[in-house]
Amino acid sequence: MSVDHNNTAIEAPAQPRRRLPLSLGGMIGATIVAFWVVVAMIGPYIVPHDVGALVDDDLFGHMRWKFPLGSDYLGRDVLSRILVGARYSIGVATAATFLAVLMGGSLGMLAAVSRGAVDMTLSRLFDALISIPSKMSALVLIAAFGSSIPVLIATVAGIFTPGVFRIWRGLAINVNALDFVEVARARGESTTYLIREEILPNISGPVLTDFGLRFMFAVLVLSSLSFVGLGVQPPNADWGSLVRENIDGLADGALAVIMPAIAIATLTIGVNLLVDNLPGRWSSTVEH
């Protein structure tokens, strides 16, 4: 507030209220995702029991102080196995998603900027790949090469790469047609410069959203593969494996089945909430 020469109070202009980068739903989603990421990083170091030790004589045991989430079909501690399983469920899904985005995204932007024969060749190649049913290709690859962690990462990345290519190419084509990109091209800037400085910064919102969705689908695909016995193999286990190996306890409502399923569900919900509330998720261009 200020005062003029006639001693009249003049209100200072109100400062615009700063908007939070995330809505309440986004913050809840980010909290859930952050919780599971931390669990994946430190879980193996804080387990109350060895994940392979038979520590309970009561199979499919109920909650109690020593076993907060009960025991599984062999008498192993469910909490310990979920904590360790988070590393496989989240770690493999993250690695596969990064690999898919790296390959598909890079080639998608290259196709959009290069145009002509390069665009045509890459587009027809990925159109052919995306026509192959993803589950069938995953089963064939795992049957041929086994279900080791590197094979699982490569398989899931291969499933998602064609879709990533199409999304990134479509976004990049829209930006590539704008005036500031044409000006940069007229200056003689290289393809690498156009992708790094002009295309990528202007599609960051939508592609971050796409990354979150791909990660969520990767978790579900890996859980599905593990449920049919083609995912992470014993003695290691992800959350899908934990559901599969304890499925006989479902009729009795065993926590060994319910808790890994809840872990998958909460991570999926958290990622959905986060990507649905990312700032700029619908914006593919910025002002120049």
Query: Is residue 6 one of the residues assigned to a domain?
Result: no
- Domain membership flag for residue 12: no
The boundaries of the domain holding residue 268 are: 23-274
Identify whether 214 is part of a domain: yes
Structural domain includes residue 147: yes
Residue 119 burial class via C-beta count within 10 angstroms: exposed 0-12, middle 13-18, buried 19 and up: middle
Confidence of residue 94 (pLDDT cuts 50, 70, 90): very high
Residue 18 lies in a domain: no
Looking at the domain assignment, is residue 7 inside a domain?
no
pLDDT above 50 for 14:
no
Q: What is the DSSP string of 131-198?
A: TS-HHHHHHHHHHHH-S-HHHHHHHHHHHHHHHHHHHHHHHHHHHHTSHHHHHHHHTT--HHHIIIII
In a domain, 11, yes or no: no
Q: Is residue 101 part of a domain?
A: yes
Whether the pLDDT of residue 123 is over 50: the answer is: yes
Domain count, the chain: 1
Q: What predicted TM-score, i.e. pTM, was given to this entire model?
A: 0.81
Q: What is the CATH number of the domain that holds 66?
A: 1.10.3720.10
